[in-house]
Amino acid sequence: MAQFAQVIVDVPTLQTNRPYDYAIPTIWQAQLQAGMRVVVPFGNGARQVQGFVVGLTTTQPNYAGEVKTIAQVLDLRPVLNPELLALAQWLAQWTFAFQISCLQTMLPSVLKASYSKKVRLTGAVTPATQAIFQDKTELDFADLSPETVKQLLKLQQQQLVEVVYEVHDRAKVKTLKAIQPLLSAAAYRQAATQVPANAKRQQALLTYLQAHAATTAPLPVAQITKATQLTLANMHTGVAKGWLQLVDLETYRDPYAELASAPRTQPLTLTAEQAQAVAQITAASRQQKEQVFLVEGVTGSGKTEIYLQAIQAALKMDRTALMLVPEIGLTPQMVARVRGRFGERVAVLHSGLSNGERYDEWRRIERGEAQVVVGARSAVFAPLTNLGLIIMDEEHESSYKQDEMPRYHARDVALWRAKYHHCPVVLGSATPSLESRARAQKGVYKLLRLKERANHQPLPPVTVVDMKNELKKTKEDNFSDLLMQALRKRVQQHEQSVLMLNRRGFSSFVMCRDCGFVLKCPNCDISLTLHMDTHSMKCHYCGHEEAIPKVCTNCQSRKIRYYGTGTQKVESELHTLLPAARILRMDVDTTRRKGAHAKILRQFGQHQADILLGTQMIAKGLDFPDVTLVGVLNADTALGLPDFRASERTFQLLTQVSGRAGRAAKAGEVIVQTYNPEHYAIRLARHHDYEGFYQREMTLRHQGGYPPYYYTILVTASHEEENEAAKKIFQLMNQVKPALSPQAVLLGPTPRAIARVNKRYYYQMVIKYKHEPELEKVLTQIMQENQARHGIQISIDREPLSFI
């Protein structure tokens, strides 16, 4: 039996990938397994931290000091299975992260312990302790004033009090009260004769129990109180009389309860292109092949139906399936489509769930009660066993990359798990990332193309309006004549329109017309954004907020004006230009509350509005039959950004949003306003020509030496003092350089485009390379050596999706 455990501990200030050895108390030696959570003492003093057992051994650790003992075991069975433990180890290495942050990312957040710091009486009660503790023996640090803390320090020196850290498990199972009848129907009848006839409630309870005496499953109290006049108090009387027992039933919080009863749908008859795709994917599932498929299908080609039928085939083989969808694509519509096909067997994971709901869905998966998981990025860690298929819809979406540690891309994790389970991966998109499309070109992935829409309708015609000409005619408004006419026509015909405002790198700000002064965030090098709903100026990076200025703080002029275009401004403009139109606005401001996003979509689906106006959020996944017009107000605001993926993003966005028009019987139309009508991303999007865009863009990437021709790694150093950050990045450069071959390219160091965020300065360098055997080692070393020391923070980002 193992007497020692290797534990990865949760100590934020001292992170390392090395497990620590702990002795296992005898009582737990038989039960403790790798993957369980434990509480262990750490460092000097009474500090306790949470940890994960990653290994067990019988051999005495090779360690000179005293081997500490595990204080508590938090789980009865492992929360991480062997696959996920191995995945965490790989992930830490691949993304230059700490194992503890990988383990915590993989699990529902309630399994991460919360800590509290307490003071306890240890010695004699003295007048001084009495004054602070009164009749208590323990106080929570969080409740104490700084003055009290100072006094306590003195008492601690006199050894009258001690400070203890406690670990709390936040994983709470939701239960509901239920009753269990204890007697036979005959016995209840008998009991009724002994209860006075005027004890109406008791009589009613006995009647109820008599009717349900035969039921073996506990009866939820809520159901009884709803169906009868009886109350919980009456149940307690029943307990006292020995008629029944009250029990706690474990239950799940089901965020999609109303969708479970959604009408079941049947598989559609596939088009020839769809059938081809399903056949190949299913064959790979059956042959347990880790084949990766890239489904490149135009918008409306019926990719979802392919996913659903491939999942169905996997379930038939008694295997499970994982379907990843970008966060904003995880609409109630999408969930209803999957639940409509597989009902209760589906678990849904996304960031809109409460922590409790997420934990419940996770347990349903972990126990094998759900065999299909639909979810956003972190659902890639869902504890499914026996995977037969992994799907990644809209695989080009940048939200699949996490931008904090561990900086992983869900696609890489999906590929790792597919290898482990010997199952296929399906990457789907109308506009695949260049990386994936290039891999398909080389035959690493298998390309499956769908060129036709499922309804055999043509893709909608796209008209490009050159706003340079429009600007000369009118003053400062956002609508071309053509778009305005088209909108007016839709409102008259009771058809719907979708209007997108491309806000990346573009928002409303305040500028002084006399001196050109722009109001900036005091913490970050970026202008503040105007918010009309809260009547304030906000920083989108650090959250700083202040009042809208009335006079210029620089020259005291009153000629201070709003610039740029926010959704709010466009909305009020539309109200003036088109008073008859009912408008729904969808942006970060209107979707902040839980469920708001779904509500707006539902209202639009029920035709409660004529126009859905929104940001990028509306480009994905919407499938409304009455939408016949899609308008893009500013196609090119992202083109000017200093990022080599600017064209790719613009092309993807225009293609996706165009795909929202004419999805059912009614033909659709798209109008795109731009200042760069000749730009290839806009020209090719106009013709729905992904393949043309791919060719053109690959040529440019080749010339520029960008991905997918090179791999990239971004190293960033930050500090509150600008020259500390700069010094560090140069030191790192000197550390990395000797490890690189002459084929590698090192860009920088440079200050980041937004050099200061949240009072910290950022300096970065980019390493571009094809094959560098030494690089991994030196970067891992840098990570281990530089853990938040001297206020420096280092981040290493493999294949970053943003360089600004």
* Site for Zn ion, rule CB under 5 A: 512, 514-515, 517, 521, 523-524, 539, 541-542, 544, 552, 554-555, 557
Provide the minimum distance between the beta carbon of 451 and ligand ADP in the complex, in angstroms, as a whole number: 12
Per CB under 6 A, does 329 bind ligand ADP? no
- Binding mask 618-657 toward ligand ADP (x if CB under 6 A, else -) reads -----x----------------------------------
Provide the minimum distance between the beta carbon of 486 and ligand ADP in the complex, in angstroms, as a whole number: 23
Residues 6 or more apart whose Cβ sits within 8 Å of residue 673: 465, 467, 470, 480, 483, 631, 632, 633, 634, 635
- Closest-approach residue to ligand ADP (CB): 302
Determine the longest span between alpha carbons in the chain, in angstroms.
98
Residue with Cβ nearer Zn ion (241 or 520): 520
Residue with Cβ nearer ligand ADP (105 or 274): 274
Cis-peptide, bond into residue 708, ω within 30° of zero: yes
- With CB cut-offs between 5 and 8 Å by kind, which of Zn ion, ligand ADP, none does residue 162 bind? none
Tell me whether residue 102 is annotated as binding: no
Which span sits near ligand ADP by CB under 6 A: 75-83, 192-200, 303-311, 640-648? 303-311
Strand-pair partners of 4 = 23, 57
The gap between the terminal CA atoms of the chain, to the nearest Å, is 53
Among 299, 527, 529, 616, binds ligand ADP (CB under 6 A): 299
Per CB under 6 A, does 305 bind ligand ADP? yes
Closest CA to 337 of 261, 264, 253, 254: 264
Which span sits near ligand ADP by CB under 6 A: 300-308, 371-379, 431-439, 746-754? 300-308
DSSP per residue, 383-414: --SSEEEEEEETTT-GGGB-SSSS--BHHHHH
Provide the minimum distance between the beta carbon of 267 and ligand ADP in the complex, in angstroms, as a whole number: 9
Tell me whether residue 521 is annotated as binding: yes
Among 35, 218, 300, 749, binds ligand ADP (CB under 6 A): 300
Residue with Cβ nearer ligand ADP (94 or 624): 624
Does residue 562 come out as left (phi exceeding 0), alpha (psi in the -120 to 50 range) or beta?
beta
Residue with Cβ nearer ligand ADP (170 or 446): 446
Provide the minimum distance between the beta carbon of 34 and ligand ADP in the complex, in angstroms, as a whole number: 41
- Taking the CA atoms of the chain, what radius of gyration do you get in angstroms? 31
Provide the minimum distance between the beta carbon of 633 and ligand ADP in the complex, in angstroms, as a whole number: 23
- With CB cut-offs between 5 and 8 Å by kind, which of ligand ADP, Zn ion, none does residue 557 bind? Zn ion
Provide the minimum distance between the beta carbon of 662 and Zn ion in the complex, in angstroms, as a whole number: 42
Residue with Cβ nearer Zn ion (116 or 802): 802
Number of residues that bind ligand ADP (CB under 6 A): 17
Cis-peptide, bond into residue 458, ω within 30° of zero: no
CA–CA dist 613, 574 (Å, integer): 10
Residue with Cβ nearer ligand ADP (453 or 585): 453
**Dihedral angle over CA of 586, 589, 595, 600, nearest 10:** -20
Which span sits near ligand ADP by CB under 6 A: 241-249, 297-305, 363-371, 699-707? 297-305
Let me know: does 402 contact 408? Beta carbons within 8 Å. yes
Closest CA to 133 of 124, 121, 122: 121
Provide the minimum distance between the beta carbon of 447 and ligand ADP in the complex, in angstroms, as a whole number: 16
Let me know: does 38 contact 11? Beta carbons within 8 Å. no
- With CB cut-offs between 5 and 8 Å by kind, which of Zn ion, ligand ADP, none does residue 304 bind? ligand ADP
- With CB cut-offs between 5 and 8 Å by kind, which of ligand ADP, Zn ion, none does residue 297 bind? ligand ADP
Residue with Cβ nearer ligand ADP (45 or 625): 625
Tell me whether residue 552 is annotated as binding: yes
Tell me whether residue 423 is annotated as binding: no
Q: What angle in degrees, to the nearest 10, is found between the helix axes of 303-316 and 272-286? A: 30
- With CB cut-offs between 5 and 8 Å by kind, which of ligand ADP, Zn ion, none does residue 524 bind? Zn ion
Please state, as a whole number, how many other Cβ atoms lie within 10 Å of the Cβ of residue 482: 14
Tell me whether residue 524 is annotated as binding: yes
- With CB cut-offs between 5 and 8 Å by kind, which of Zn ion, ligand ADP, none does residue 512 bind? Zn ion
- With CB cut-offs between 5 and 8 Å by kind, which of Zn ion, ligand ADP, none does residue 669 bind? none
Helices and strands (DSSP H and E) totals, the chain = 24, 33
Per CB under 6 A, does 303 bind ligand ADP? yes
CA–CA dist 176, 360 (Å, integer): 14
Per CB under 6 A, does 302 bind ligand ADP? yes
Per CB under 6 A, does 274 bind ligand ADP? yes
Element (H, E) at 373: strand 372-375
CA–CA dist 121, 690 (Å, integer): 71
- With CB cut-offs between 5 and 8 Å by kind, which of Zn ion, ligand ADP, none does residue 623 bind? ligand ADP
Element (H, E) at 214: none
CA–CA dist 360, 351 (Å, integer): 14
Exposed, middle or buried, 451 (CB in 10 Å: 0-12/13-18/19+)?
Answer: exposed
Closest CA to 612 of 507, 509, 491: 491
Provide the minimum distance between the beta carbon of 561 and Zn ion in the complex, in angstroms, as a whole number: 11
Residue with Cβ nearer ligand ADP (319 or 453): 453
Per CB under 6 A, does 304 bind ligand ADP? yes
Residue with Cβ nearer ligand ADP (149 or 667): 667
- With CB cut-offs between 5 and 8 Å by kind, which of ligand ADP, Zn ion, none does residue 270 bind? ligand ADP
Tell me whether residue 512 is annotated as binding: yes
Which phi and psi (to 5°) does residue 371 adopt? -110, -10
Closest CA to 417 of 461, 384, 455: 384
- With CB cut-offs between 5 and 8 Å by kind, which of ligand ADP, Zn ion, none does residue 718 bind? none
- With CB cut-offs between 5 and 8 Å by kind, which of ligand ADP, Zn ion, none does residue 137 bind? none
Closest CA to 638 of 676, 594, 695, 582: 676
Rounded (5°) CA angle 242-248-253: 150
Per CB under 6 A, does 271 bind ligand ADP? yes
Element (H, E) at 611: strand 611-614
3-class SS letters over 35-65: CCEEEEECCCCCCEEEEEEEEEECCCCCCCC
Among 7, 390, 423, 454, binds ligand ADP (CB under 6 A): 454
Residue type, 569: K
Provide the minimum distance between the beta carbon of 314 and ligand ADP in the complex, in angstroms, as a whole number: 18
Residue with Cβ nearer ligand ADP (350 or 663): 663
Among 297, 631, 668, 707, binds ligand ADP (CB under 6 A): 297
Residue with Cβ nearer ligand ADP (271 or 496): 271
Which span sits near ligand ADP by CB under 6 A: 2-10, 209-217, 262-270, 483-491? 262-270
- With CB cut-offs between 5 and 8 Å by kind, which of ligand ADP, Zn ion, none does residue 542 bind? Zn ion
Exposed, middle or buried, 706 (CB in 10 Å: 0-12/13-18/19+)?
Answer: middle
CA–CA dist 273, 785 (Å, integer): 53
Per CB under 6 A, does 268 bind ligand ADP? yes
Tell me whether residue 515 is annotated as binding: yes
Residues 6 or more apart whose Cβ sits within 8 Å of residue 365: 347, 373, 382, 383, 384
For binding to ligand ADP (CB under 6 A), which residues are involved? 268-271, 274, 297, 299-305, 454-455, 623, 663
Which residue ranges are tagged as binding site?
512, 515, 521, 524, 539, 542, 552, 555
Which residue ranges are tagged as binding site for Zn(2+)?
512, 515, 521, 524, 539, 542, 552, 555
